[in-house]
Amino acid sequence: MRELEERPKKGRWFGKDTRFGYLSIVPALILMSFFSAGPLVYALALSFQKYTLGAVERPFVFLENYQKLVESKFFAPSLVNTLIFTVGAVVFVFLIALIFTLILNEKFRANTWVRLALLIPWAIPEIANALGWRWIFDSNWGVWNGIVVYGFGIFNSYQSWLGNPNYAMGTILVPHIWKEVPLATILLLAGISTIPKSLYEAAKLDGANVLARFRRITLPMLRPIIQLVLVYETIQGITSFAYVFVLTGGGPGYTTTTLSWLVWMTSFSFGDFGQGSCVAVIMSIIALLLTLLYFRLLPTKEFGAVTVR
């Protein structure tokens, strides 16, 4: 506290310190620009060009690509699907993770094993996860069908989980949620452990029951972590690609075509890099707008130890 009073952050010290400072951050900044801001600008440029795979010339056609894209029959569905997927992912991941957190917060002997088990879904590469679930959801021999038909008797015959337009979107959400929940749980558990027990004791004395304690102490105290988890899961939801890629290929029809799949489809299936760049630009704008929205909704948000306003 004394530090902040007598040493405000904007301490200037010219000479060796500044040189040392800039020199040490420039390489990292260059790397980041080369793979974030740079490509984004380039993508913008490409989106204005007619660029097909293998073409020698790339003439500028400006907004023609965008026009073609917006008028296509897969653009609107891709927006809707991305929305559905992201909202579904964020909501389910958060709720399930919250429930898990409350259960696992209680101390008991096997705790350490469960915490270890939480790390496993995080450790698995996304694509390997997709591989596993692809087989689980196989319409002819998959174990999921086995369970719902022979185990619980919900259905009479094997379903095509990935080929049925009604089930496809829900089906690709499953591996995503499965993989994201543990990390969210770990973060929420860490957050909950920072809430002083004395707050709960005081609340009990004040007559608060379990629900009230949850609403008025746990949730508010967890706010920063919840914000972090929501932002992170939103990004994960928007950028999710592997499951569509492996499990459904955007189909059946365009029922699981998300924006990220659209980038791939237009670029590598249709060979139209120009249009692919359009989707990329639109996707980036949406992502950046969403995060700006998050930051605006929360007056000051602590990003680690940096305060963002």
Partner 1 sequence: MVSITLENLTKKFGKVVAVDNVNIEIEDKEFVTLLGPSGCGKTTTLRMIAGLETPTEGKIYFDGKSVTDIPPHQRNVAMVFQDYALYPHMTAYDNMAFNLKMKKMPKEEIQELVKKTAELLKIQHLLDRFPAEMSGGEKQRVALGRALVRQPTVFLFDEPLSSIDAKLREEMRSELIKIHEKIQTTFIYVTHDQVEAMTLSKRFAVMNQGKVMQFDTPMNIYNEPMNTFVASFVGSPSINLFTGVIVRDSTKDRFLFEGEGFVYSLPKSLKFPEKVIKTKSTLGVRPEEISVVKSEKGEGISTKIYTVEPRGDETILSVKFKDVLVKAKVEPGIDLQIGDSVIVTFKKGYIFDEDSKLLARW
Partner 2 sequence: MVLDSIKKRSTLKNIVIAILSIVILVFLLSPLAWMVITSLEEEALMFKRPPVVLPNGPFFANYQFIWVRFVSEEALEWGYVLPGSLPGVLAEARGMVQSVLNSLVVASCTTLVCLALGLLAAYTFAKVPIVGGTKFLFYIFVSRLLPPIAILIPVYTVFKTIGLLDTLASIILIHASFAMPFFVWILFVHFKSVPQSVEDSARVDGCSRFQVLTKIMLPIAKPGIIAASIFAFMISYNEFIFATTLSQSAASRTASATVSALAFSIGRYSVPLIMAGGIFAILPPIIIVLIFRKTILEGLVSIFRR
Q: Which parts of 229-268 interact with partner 2 (CB under 8 A)?
A: 235, 238-239, 241-242, 245-246, 260, 263-264, 267
How near is the Cβ of 3 to partner 1 at its closest, in Å? Answer: 9
The dihedral sign for the CA sequence 179, 185, 188, 193: negative
Residues contacting 178, CB < 8 A, separation 6+: 121, 129, 133
- Interactions with partner 2, residue window 70-109 (CB under 8 A): 100, 103-104, 106-109
Residue list 144-183, contact with partner 2 (CB under 8 A): 145-146, 149-151, 158, 175, 178, 182-183
List for the chain the helix, strand, coil content (%; round to 5): 70, 5, 25
Which among partner 1, partner 2, none contacts residue 63 (Cβ within 5 to 8 A by kind)?
A: none
Among partner 2, partner 1, none, the one that 5 touches (CB under a kind-dependent 5 to 8 A) is partner 1
Q: Determine the residue type at 160.
A: S
Tokens of 284: 């980036």
> Rule CB under 8 A: is residue 29 a binding residue for partner 2?
yes
What radius of gyration, in Å, describes the C-alpha atoms of the chain?
24
Q: Choose the contact partner of 29 out of partner 1, partner 2, none; CB within 5 to 8 A by kind.
A: partner 2
Q: Which is nearer to partner 1, 11 or 299 (CB)?
A: 11
Task: Return the number of the residue (76 or 190) whose C-beta is nearest partner 2.
Answer: 190
Cβ atoms of 139 and 146 closer than 8 Å? no
What contacts 24+ positions apart, CB below 8 Å, involve 288-297? 290/234, 290/238, 291/231, 291/234, 291/235, 294/227, 294/230, 294/231, 294/234
Compare residues 1 and 210 and give the one whose CB is closer to partner 1.
1
Rule CB under 8 A: choose which of 5, 15, 28, 198 binds partner 2: 28
235 binds, among partner 1, partner 2, none (CB under 5 to 8 A by kind): partner 2
Q: Would you count residue 119 as binding partner 2 (CB under 8 A)?
A: yes
Query: Residue 8 or residue 153: which is nearer to partner 1 going by CB?
Result: 8
What six digits make up the tokens of 102? 């409350």
Beta-strand runs (E) in the chain: 301-303, 306-308
Minimum distance of partner 2 from residue 189's CB (angstroms): 8
Closest CB to partner 1 among residues 17, 302: 17
In this structure, what DSSP letter does residue 109 have?
T
Task: Check residue 64 for interaction with partner 2 (CB under 8 A).
Answer: no
Question: DSSP string spanning 65-83?
Answer: HHHHHHHSTTHHHHHHHHH
Interface residues toward partner 1, by CB under 8 A: 2, 5-8, 10-11, 13
Query: Is 2 exposed, middle or buried (CB count within 10 Å of its CB: 0-12, 13-18, 19+)?
Result: exposed
* Choice between 3 and 57, CB closer to partner 1: 3
> CB of residue 246 vs partner 2: minimum separation in angstroms?
5
